[in-house]
Amino acid sequence: MPATAPPPSPVDPSQLGLRERKKLKTRVAIREATYRLITEQGYEATTVEQIAQAAEVSPSTVFRYFPTKEDIVLTDEHDPVMEEALRNRPAEEPLLDSLRHVLRQTMEHSMRHEPEVTKLRMRLMVEVPAVRSRSLESMSVTGGMLCRVIAERTGRDPAELEVRAYAMGLVGTLFETSRYWAERDYPDDIGDLLDRALTVFAQGLGPGVARANQGGPTGR
């Protein structure tokens, strides 16, 4: 893939066999039913039984594809796409530049193809403790993917503390950028916010201007 090409779609059905296409169709139906019901009636009011009925599958099928309701909201196929895109960046490119490029493209791809779903997922991550908790658990999967790529690019062991700390620092940056964006009702371009956050990740946090009277403790 050329270095300037956008990341591929998370799943290309034409590359799958009949069985895998059927499984993908079921996963998509369950997710779409979930997003629709949550939009109409809220997260807590939406049950797995309702999701199953709307997706025309059994509740046991829902649980076979997604262990929890939170997983339906959060699960996507972006990690393997990001991993492939990172491996196709120029070998001489600085690692953080590669990561910045691919992370931004991934976010922009989501906003271009499913903006309302992307915003809904991020809003639920902010508003629903169970979704936020599950999201934090799932970060380790993305972190593991980044460890593999970082280790390949740097010649290190993916299990090294430094590699793991760097990878999870990146995942945390992405997580907090998403939360920041959703908490403020999506006021800015998510790609610009990610660039801003990654600059802090790379350069460190310099002195800032203290903000008084922001609702926190005053120290008195």
What's the pLDDT score for residue 16?
Answer: 53
Select from 43, 48, 39, 114 the least CA-distant residue to 76.
114
Give me 3's structure tokens. Answer: 């270095």
Indicate if the pLDDT at residue 218 is higher than 60.
no
Give me 35's structure tokens. Answer: 């997003």
Give me 137's structure tokens. Answer: 């658990």
pLDDT digits (tens, 9 = 90+) for 145-161: 999 999 999 999 999 99
Indicate if the pLDDT at residue 121 is higher than 50.
yes
pLDDT digits (tens, 9 = 90+) for 17-27: 677 778 888 99
Domains and CATH numbers, the chain: 13-67 (1.10.10.60), 76-202 (1.10.357.10)
What's the pLDDT score for residue 59?
Answer: 96
* Burial class for 22, CB neighbours closer than 10 Å (0-12, 13-18, 19+): exposed
Residues ≥6 apart with Cβ < 8 Å to 7: 81, 82, 84, 85, 102, 105, 106, 109
Q: Please give the C-alpha separations between residue 64 and each of 35, 39, 55, 104, in angstroms, as whole numbers.
A: 18, 24, 14, 32
φ and ψ at residue 210, rounded to 5 degrees = -65, 140
Q: pLDDT grade, residue 220 (50/70/90)?
A: very low
- For the entire predicted model, the pTM comes to 0.76
Indicate if the pLDDT at residue 57 is higher than 90.
yes
φ and ψ at residue 8, rounded to 5 degrees = -65, 165
